[in-house]
Structure 1
Amino acid sequence: MKKIILLLLMLCSITTFGQYAKIQEDVDLSIAFGQSFAPSFSYQKLYGLGQSKRFKIGWGLRATAFFGGEKNYRTAPARLTSAQSSLFALFADDLVGNIDTLRLSKTALGSFNAKIVLQYSFKKFDIGFNIDAIGVSFGGKQSGKFVSAESPSLNNTTQMASPTTFNLLLISDSDIGSLNSELYVAYHLNNKWSLRTGFNYQFLEYKTERLLTFENDRFRHKLLQPFLAISYHLPSKK
């Protein structure tokens, strides 16, 4: 709960600071492709910092759809994957004996999240990063094969799963649900339009109907893909 409150306070403080900084508003259509197909549509508001206003920080809303074929979803909770939490889980080794697999024949889910944006602007280019912070996911229920070396009685059984409903950014394997992020470069075609490209990194999460090995019901797939996007810049405000 403390981490949720911290995220909300951070988003509120960004909005408050924006009253004193130059505002940039964008709507954006992005498509990630490769192993899967993942379109997203977003709105964002950026606030320029410093005298030059080149460095921008902001927030936005993003709707993402993800469609893919067969994928392996591994045990999700950080308490099992590394016994670490938050930033420490980034650098911890996997506890292989704790990690099971849920094999799904397809992935089809959607998410709607608030996102955080960091960007540095040049005359014709932007370099930036954005990441989903909190929201919800939705999608159909499906069956998958559960693979577990530690539980012969459950190994190779069929389990029903659906997308985890609640999404929350807590860093690395501490994250909950399905979250989208982008590292990008944008080129300004003119004052109204920009093209963006870079890498799209998604955390996708399904939850089984029953608790399985280690009292766990959450399974995650991580995927890095290239993306292309087009952005429309709304009229600027002061």
Structure 2
Amino acid sequence: MKKIILLLLLSHTLSAQYSYPKTQQNLDLAVDFGSALSPSVSYQNLYGIGKAGRFKIGWGIRLNSFFGGQKNYITAPAKLTSGTQSIVALFTENIASNLDTLQLAKSRLGSLNGTIVLQYSIKKLDVGFNIDFVGFSFGKSQRGKFIASESKSLNNTLQTAKPTPFNLLLISDSDIGSLNSELYFRYWASNRLAVRAGASFQFLEYTTTKTLTFENDRFRHKALLPFVAITYAPFK
């Protein structure tokens, strides 16, 4: 009887350790929806910290896409929106007189970015956060109406813009290009398959072919969207 109890305890210990592997690789398909449609495909490699390995930190690669109707793209650089490019920009109100708008009839752009991932696991449930940090964007050029706050000659003119090619995570409005981040919950239905849901916050950026008011050519749209996803872990 004692041997049986010991075997059960050992089995429980091993199974608990297996539930939180030291490394984990995920393939993920997510779809953001609402005011736009934004599918993404990603790969993540996570590393457990501590004996149990419940807390994980890792990296990944994500292919983002964004399809939407008419959107307003607002002056992007932090030096114009808040007058500073430091962390202070997070807590500074926008300078309304510096903000111009580029109205695009549609948004059709994609990005391929590296991501940073933080996650905590509780049995079959994961709670996590990820954010793009560097990459590039692609998409066609298009013309949109430029609404200038301080220039009568440029106000209501048509301007050509294309997705900003280089993406870089900095601080708030100091960011460059198109970046995606997610706050999520994930439930493992089996050892390999899981469903995931949460909120996605995206920066989407276009650059005009001409430098416009305030010597600026970058304009940004911010989108907060719910999403659902399916995760496959080939080596879990």
TM-score, normalised on structure 1? 0.89
CA distance in 2, matches of 1:88, 1:234: 43
2:43 is the counterpart of 1:43:
yes
1:103 matched residue in structure 2: 103
2:186 matched residue in structure 1: 186
CA distance in 1, matches of 2:45, 2:86: 27
1:11 matched residue in structure 2: none
2:68 is the counterpart of 1:68:
yes
- Superposed CA offset, 1:99-125 (max 9, x none): 000000000001000000000001010
Question: Following TM superposition, by how much is the alpha carbon of 1:86 offset from its aligned partner in structure 2, in angstroms?
Answer: 4.0
2:234 is the counterpart of 1:231:
no
Question: Following TM superposition, by how much is the alpha carbon of 1:211 offset from its aligned partner in structure 2, in angstroms?
Answer: 0.3
Letter in 2 for 1:151: S
The answer to whether the Cα contact below 8 Å between 1:86 and 1:170 also exists between their aligned partners in 2 is no
The answer to whether the Cα contact below 8 Å between 1:205 and 1:219 also exists between their aligned partners in 2 is yes
1:219 matched residue in structure 2: 219
1:168 matched residue in structure 2: 168
- Superposed CA offset, 1:1-31 (max 9, x none): xxxxxxxxxxxxxxxxxxxx92100000000
1:32 matched residue in structure 2: 32
2:199 matched residue in structure 1: 199
CA distance in 1, matches of 2:229, 2:84: 35
Deviates more, 1:78-87 or 1:58-67: 78-87
CA RMSD of aligned residues (A): 0.9
Letter in 1 for 2:199: F
The answer to whether the Cα contact below 8 Å between 2:98 and 2:149 also exists between their aligned partners in 1 is no
2:112 is the counterpart of 1:112:
yes
TM-score, normalised on structure 2? 0.90
Letter in 2 for 1:64: N
CA distance in 1, matches of 2:182, 2:229: 11
2:10 matched residue in structure 1: none
1:121 matched residue in structure 2: 121
Letter in 2 for 1:186: R
Letter in 1 for 2:73: Y
Runs of 4 or more above 3 Å deviation: none
Q: Which stretches in structure 2 are left out of the alignment for 5+ residues?
A: 1-20
Flag the 1:228–1:86 CA change in 2: closer, same or farther, 3 A: farther
DSSP-derived class of the 2:214 partner: helix
CA distance in 1, matches of 2:174, 2:51: 37
Question: Following TM superposition, by how much is the alpha carbon of 1:89 offset from its aligned partner in structure 2, in angstroms?
Answer: 1.2
1:59 matched residue in structure 2: 59
CA distance in 2, matches of 1:144, 1:168: 25
2:14 matched residue in structure 1: none
Letter in 2 for 1:164: T
Q: Which stretches in structure 1 are left out of the alignment for 5+ residues?
A: 1-20
- Percent identical pairs in the alignment equals 60
Letter in 2 for 1:66: F
